[in-house]
């Protein structure tokens, strides 16, 4: 008696569902399970079910770790002879299955079949839960686990669980450091064969995946999929904490660490932890001194390519990112984003110690070091330590004398681009930052912030020696030198030492004869700005400091104080 869903033909048994003809009735019975979905052979270890007993036997080896088929080339073992045969083609480079559309060759016919789906766009395997469709049948069961959150394969090192045993094996290489797949071009090694294949395209220049919207081509199909979202505006991955949406799941994963505070990537040199592995890689260059990105204009080297790109704009004067509120332009989009918070008043980064909020995460990180006293970046010249690497870089220019930022108006050079920007406002007269309390305007936003403390009376920086509090951290630093007696800034001309670098700069003008501060009224020049201010009052009939007793006015507060002693009878 024949199976009801099959009929006997002259030579074969034919399936009534799809018309496929098979030689034996037993083959027909096994074939029927494709249509019925029946999987009668279940693994007692993990519950995974299979259509055929032979597949179950192969699967059982994953639990026993029995790998009877060993490669003589590399020693890798396999559960199944078919997997071993496929693996051998890696060493022989045998790729007998070629795509007629693009000429790409494969070691397995199944991989060719999967690849063909890229050209035809066919996705016949659809998820009944969410409607997402896949090119290959193997992708669907993996996807289904995302709905059920079933991750049966767990890492013994860190507890991370995976939907596939192959993913667990690849993950384990993170802990072991194993990178068995090496590029013959450059020697770079990878923990996964697919990563090596993608890497090879860097050398070959191959970009097989092209965007139909703009023609841009990509090395990987996943990069094309992500790129397409630029055109569609699709952001399918939403944060449950704050509602922010992302175009890539990896961006969401990184974003979540802001809320959780998770920093899984730690520097072995200094113990500093990071939320992203790329941030750790960049940080490591601080310790090893590596600066692989050189400016062709001036030879300056940088840790990161983004820093080089931004630096090049200094030479070109290029400022492509403009604020819609005030028209101010920036060389980097991140600087524009930070600037916009001046207008919005947004300060999303809050200190848990004192509640102070900041516009930028980097400002919060630097601020936290005030509480902790941490200064991890030390100068090799003089031993002075800093809470921020950028402060160390700026400090180094004191020793080197480097002033790479020139004013085109007067030729004055500066160690920092921000100092040049502030200086340019002296020529233009621009004071964009205005105090809402008194209307006083400032060249720099930091000057406005400091000024506001006059109105609020805030003095957040306290000396641990004597308890005296200051409105600015620089004032506290200067004050501390009184206790230590330190005078780190020495004049090379006469050996006189100073507590502050600004005092040394002023002193040097005695030797050089430089008088950069000129009175526009009479042409008289001065060594110091304070002298010019005092002098300017001499042109006005009445000084700004008036005696309440007799009405006499003075150009300086010190002169007024001396005068008051006449009325008080205090000895002069």
Q: Which two tokens stand for residue 406?
A: 């020139």
Report the candidate in 348, 353, 351 with the shortest Cα–Cα distance to residue 338.
Answer: 348
Report the candidate in 276, 253, 256, 255 with the shortest Cα–Cα distance to residue 266.
Answer: 276
User: DSSP 3-state assignment of 321?
Assistant: strand
- Checking 25-34 for CB contacts under 8 A at 24+ apart, the result is 28/3, 29/3, 32/3, 32/5, 32/6
Q: Are strands 517-518 and 245-246 parallel, antiparallel or unpaired?
A: unpaired
End-to-end CA distance of the chain: 130
* Burial degree of 416 (CB within 10 A; 0-12, 13-18, 19+): middle
Query: Which residues, in sequence order, are CB contacts of 93 under 8 Å at separation 6+?
Result: none
**How many domains would you assign to the chain?**
1
Residue 13 domain-assigned? yes
Determine contact, residues 254/242, Cβ cutoff 8 Å.
no
Residue 297, C-beta contacts closer than 8 angstroms, at least 6 positions apart: 312, 315
DSSP annotation string for 48-68? -EESSHHHHHHHHHHHHT---
Q: How far is it, in rounded angstroms, from Cα 163 to Cα 146?
A: 8
- The 10 Å Cβ neighbour count of residue 259 is 11
Question: How far apart (Å, rounded) are the C-alpha atoms in residues 229 and 219?
Answer: 17
Whether 162 contacts 169, CB under 8 Å: no
Rg of the chain (C-alpha set): 36
Angle at 48 between CA 45 and CA 53, to 5 degrees: 90
CA distance 420 to 438: 27
Q: Using 50 as the pLDDT threshold, list the residues of the chain that sit under it.
A: 1-6
How far does Cα 23 stand from its chain's mean position?
61
What is the DSSP track for 513-569? ----EE-TTT--EESSHHHHHHHHHHHSSS-SEE-TTT--EESSHHHHHHHHHHHHT
**Spatial CB neighbours of 142, under 8 Å, sequence gap ≥ 6:** 163, 164
Smallest CA-to-CA distance from 51 within 40, 43, 62 is with 40
CA 378 – CA 363 distance, rounded (Å): 19
In a domain, 30, yes or no: yes
Between CA 209 and CA 401 the distance in angstroms is 51
Neighbouring CB atoms inside 10 A of 365's CB total 13
d(CA 572, CA 568): 10
Q: Give the integer Cα–Cα distance in Å for 563 and 547.
A: 8
- The H or E element spanning position 210 is strand 209-210
169 in the Ramachandran plot: left (φ > 0), alpha (ψ -120 to 50) or beta?
alpha
Question: Quick one: pLDDT at residue 6?
Answer: 46
CATH number at 18 reads 3.30.160
| Secondary element (H or E) of residue 21 | strand 21-22
Give residue 121's pLDDT: 63
Coil/strand/helix, residue 295: coil
Query: Which residue's entry shows tokens 């920036």?
Result: 330
DSSP 175-204: HH----EE-TTT--EESSHHHHHHHHHHHH
| Structural domain contains residue 22 | yes
To which H or E segment does residue 547 belong? none
**Which DSSP letter does residue 13 get?**
E
pLDDT value of residue 306: 77
Q: pLDDT at position 78, please?
A: 76
Q: Confirm whether 10 is domain-assigned.
A: yes
Task: Tell me if 458 is assigned to some domain.
Answer: no
pLDDT at 494: 93
Residue 181 lies in a domain: no
Q: Is residue 156 part of a domain?
A: no
- What is the extent of the structural domain holding 27? 6-38
User: Which DSSP state fits 246?
Assistant: E
Classified as helix, coil or strand, 462 is: strand
pTM above the 0.75 mark?
no
**Is the residue at 177 inside a domain?**
no
Residues sharing a CB contact under 8 Å with residue 89, sequence separation 6 or more, in sequence order: 95, 107, 108
CA distance 249 to 517: 58
| Tokens (6 digits) for 157 | 């090192």
Q: What does the CA dihedral 85, 86, 88, 90 come to, rounded to 10 degrees?
A: 170
CA angle 101, 107, 108 (to 5 degrees): 85
Yes or no: say if 479 and 472 are a contact pair by the CB < 8 Å rule.
no
């Amino acid at each position: 008696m024949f199976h009801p869903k099959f009929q006997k033909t002259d030579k074969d048994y034919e399936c009534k569902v799809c018309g496929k003809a098979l030689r034996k009735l037993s083959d027909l019975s096994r074939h029927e399970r494709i249509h019925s979905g029946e999987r009668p052979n279940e693994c007692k270890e993990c519950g995974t079910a299979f259509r055929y007993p032979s597949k179950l036997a192969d699967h059982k080896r994953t639990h026993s770790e029995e790998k009877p088929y060993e490669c003589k080339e590399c020693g890798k073992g396999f559960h199944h002879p078919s997997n071993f045969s496929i693996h051998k083609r890696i060493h022989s480079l045998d790729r007998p299955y070629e795509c007629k559309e693009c000429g790409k060759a494969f070691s397995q016919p199944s991989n060719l079949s999967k690849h063909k789906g890229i050209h035809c766009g066919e996705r016949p395997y659809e998820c009944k839960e969410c409607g997402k469709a896949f090119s290959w049948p193997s992708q669907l069961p993996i996807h289904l686990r995302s709905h059920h959150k079933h991750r049966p394969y767990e890492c013994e090192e860190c507890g991370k669980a995976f939907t596939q045993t192959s993913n667990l094996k690849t993950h384990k290489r993170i802990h072991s450091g194993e990178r068995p797949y090496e590029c013959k071009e450059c020697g770079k090694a990878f923990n996964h064969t697919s990563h090596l294949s993608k890497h090879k395209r860097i050398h070959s220049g191959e970009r097989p995946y092209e965007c139909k919207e703009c023609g841009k081509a990509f090395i990987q199909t996943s990069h094309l999929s992500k790129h397409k979202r630029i055109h569609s505006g699709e952001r399918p991955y939403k944060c449950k904490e704050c509602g922010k949406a992302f175009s890539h799941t990896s961006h969401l994963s990184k974003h979540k660490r802001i809320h959780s505070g998770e920093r899984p990537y730690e520097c072995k040199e200094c113990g500093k932890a990071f939320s992203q592995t790329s941030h750790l890689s960049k940080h490591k260059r601080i310790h090893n001194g590596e600066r692989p990105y050189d400016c062709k204009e001036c030879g300056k080297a940088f840790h990161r390519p983004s820093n080089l790109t931004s630096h090049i704009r200094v030479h070109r004067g290029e400022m492509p990112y403009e604020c819609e509120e005030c028209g101010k332009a920036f060389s980097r989009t991140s600087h524009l984003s930070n600037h916009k918070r001046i207008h919005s008043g947004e300060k999303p980064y809050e200190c848990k110690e004192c509640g102070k909020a900041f516009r930028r995460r980097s400002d919060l990180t630097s601020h936290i070091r005030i509480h902790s006293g941490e200064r991890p970046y030390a100068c090799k010249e003089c031993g002075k330590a800093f809470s921020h690497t950028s402060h160390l870089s700026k400090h180094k220019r004191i020793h080197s004398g480097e002033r790479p930022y020139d004013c085109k108006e007067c030729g004055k050079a500066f160690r920092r681009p921000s100092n040049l920007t502030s200086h340019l406002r002296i020529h233009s007269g621009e004071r964009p930052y205005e105090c809402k309390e008194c209307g006083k305007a400032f060249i720099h936003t930091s000057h406005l912030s400091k000024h506001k403390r006059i109105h609020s009376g805030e003095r957040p920086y306290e000396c641990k020696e004597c308890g005296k509090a200051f409105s600015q951290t620089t004032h506290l630093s200067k004050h501390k030198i009184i206790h230590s007696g330190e005078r780190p800034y020495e004049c090379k001309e006469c050996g006189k030492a100073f507590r502050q670098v600004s005092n040394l700069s002023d002193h040097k003008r005695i030797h050089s004869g430089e008088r950069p501060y000129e009175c526009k009224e009479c042409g008289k020049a001065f060594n110091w700005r304070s002298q010019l201010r005092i002098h300017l009052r001499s042109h006005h009939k009445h000084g700004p400091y008036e005696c309440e007793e007799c009405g006499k006015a003075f150009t300086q507060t010190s002169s007024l104080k001396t005068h008051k002693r006449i009325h008080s009878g205090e000895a002069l």
